[in-house]
């Protein structure tokens, strides 16, 4: 919680500052797919990501009248140094990712590349989304869309 949830609350635009004049500005909270999809051993992590969503919604209401749009992005598993263990050889990592995707990401069955998340951030903060505020947008390859139904043999 100390890492994920205080940051947006301490970096949100503060009343009475020069930020009030930013008409048409956009801010983005980085939550994560974990806000929508919990894991048995990840309660605190999920709660911290949900906290970001709540802060984004409150800030969107507080600053919308000033023309400041505030949304959250919910990236899924992304091929970064945070996910890849140190020292894993490139070929082993490629094989791991091939196996990981179909087991964990129902939709596209692969991890995101950092550039894909960056493009989603640029799009959401652009004027193309000028009427969107207070939203949490999954960019997770379909991981939070649901799971396939598996029936036992009959």
Catalytic choice (45, 63, 98, 131)? 45
The answer to whether 5 and 46 are in contact (CB under 8 A) is no
For the chain, helix (H) and strand (E) counts, in that order, are: 4, 3
First to last CA, the chain: 45
Active site residue 45: yes
DSSP labels, 82-137: TTSPTT--HHHHHHHHHHHHHHH-TTT-SPBPHHHHHHHHHHHHSGGGTT--S-EE
49 as an active site residue: the answer is yes
Can you tell me the distance from the alpha carbon of 81 to that of 51, in angstroms, rounded to the nearest whole number? 24
Residues annotated as catalytic (active site), given as ranges: 45, 49
């Amino acid at each position: 919680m100390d890492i994920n949830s205080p940051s947006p609350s301490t970096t949100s635009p503060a009343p009475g500052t020069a930020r009030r004049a930013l008409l048409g500005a956009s801010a983005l909270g980085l939550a994560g797919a974990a806000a929508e999809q919990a894991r048995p051993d990840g309660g605190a992590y999920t709660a911290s990501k949900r906290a970001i969503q709540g802060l984004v919604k409150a800030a969107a209401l507080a600053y919308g009248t000033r023309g400041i749009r505030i949304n959250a992005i919910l990236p899924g598993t992304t091929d970064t140094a945070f996910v890849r263990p140190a020292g894993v050889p490139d070929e082993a990592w490629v094989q791991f990712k091939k196996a990981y995707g179909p087991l964990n990401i129902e939709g596209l069955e692969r991890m995101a590349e950092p550039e894909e998340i960056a493009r989603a951030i640029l799009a959401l903060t652009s004027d193309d989304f000028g009427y969107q505020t207070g939203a949490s947008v999954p960019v997770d390859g379909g991981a939070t869309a649901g799971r396939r139904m598996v029936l036992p043999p009959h």
